[in-house]
Amino acid sequence: MSRRSMNLTLRVWRQKGPKVRGAFVSYQAKDISPDQSFLEMLDTVNQDLLLKGEEPIHFDNDCREGICGACSMVINGQAHGPLKGTTTCQLHMRHFNDGDTVVIEPWRAKAFPVVKDLIVDRQSLDRIITSGGFVSVDVGGAPDANAVLVPKEDAEEAMDAAACIGCGACAASCKNASAMLFVSAKVSQLALLPQGHPERQRRVTEMIQVMQDAGFGNCTNESECEAACPKSISVSHIARMNREFLLSTLTRRR
């Protein structure tokens, strides 16, 4: 049987635009079902605001199935909220208590400028992917690609890296706003598979360069990124990316 409904106080970051000073504003979330998702709770609050003639809270979302990564926000100081391996849209209100005060704010990183309220511009991640997160060589059709033998261990590790949804929680949780976990996951995904080998040196060099140009910081080696990642991407991929980059640098020098 579900618990009875809850009443919460929300402290939400409101900001009209990227060049406008923002501030926290308090709202009351009343009669919230513990079975609602966090985004459904915000939908309820927004419905009440609209009925009062007030502007709703702007937040980003798409699939609401933990796939797209669009539901990026910091909840009580933690990217995507208190649960490990969970996106905001997968977080349910039963993990909060009646009477709680919940602080909600956008990603805080130079490379993620605020668009409005809880929405940030994450195009910097798209530019990193565009710079090298793909395979452009002809690998043939599906039967041909399947004929390439790949060790099971490599295939599984590549799939683990490919689970990255590009939400940006790694950068949002890092005190240096480093995106190295995101970039390393994309580098690993292709470097582990034979189809990605022809372009592996150019790929890692260009992706790291675009990452730096976007304003992301350096890795802190404190693993906040892995702890905040909703797909539990391992920091071991950062070590692989560093090795790939070193190999690329030495090869170019020769």
Read off the CATH number of the domain in which 187 is found.
1.10.1060.10
Higher pLDDT, 252 or 212: 212
Residue 176 to residue 172: CA distance in whole angstroms: 9
Does residue 82 form part of some domain? yes
| Whether residue 129 sits in one domain with residue 106 | no
Statement to judge: residues 69 and 154 lie in one domain: no
Does residue 249 share a domain with residue 128? yes
Does residue 46 share a domain with residue 87? yes
Same domain, 17 and 56: yes
Kindly state whether residues 228 and 144 are assigned to the same domain: yes
What is the percentage of the chain residues whose pLDDT exceeds 90?
90
Name the pairing type of β-strands 23-32 and 6-14. antiparallel
| Closest residue by Cα to residue 49 from 124, 117, 144, 147 | 117
The residue from 81, 96, 116 where one domain ends is 116
CA atoms within 13 A of residue 34's CA, in its CB half-sphere: 13
This prediction's pTM? 0.92
Q: Which of 116, 148, 173 is the last residue of a domain?
A: 116
Q: What is the pLDDT of residues 98-157, one digit of tens each?
A: 999 999 999 999 999 999 999 999 999 999 999 999 998 887 887 887 788 899 999 999
Judge whether 225 lies within some domain: yes
Question: Both tokens of residue 63?
Answer: 């699939």
Under a CB-based contact definition with an 8 Å cutoff, are residues 79 and 107 in contact?
yes
d(CA 1, CA 85): 26
Dihedral pair phi/psi, residue 213, rounded to 5°: -65, -30
What average pLDDT is seen over the chain? 94
Domain that holds residue 211: 123-253
Structure tokens that stand for 77 in this block: 């100081």
Q: Is the pLDDT of residue 3 over 80?
A: no
CATH number of residue 42's parent domain: 3.10.20.30
Same domain, 137 and 233: yes
End residue of a domain, out of 69, 95, 116: 116
Q: Are residues 40 and 149 in the same domain?
A: no
The total number of structural domains that make up the chain = 2
Please check whether residues 246 and 139 belong to one and the same domain.
yes
> What is d(CA 163, CA 100) in angstroms, rounded to the nearest whole number?
33
Band (pLDDT 50/70/90 cuts) for residue 254 is: low
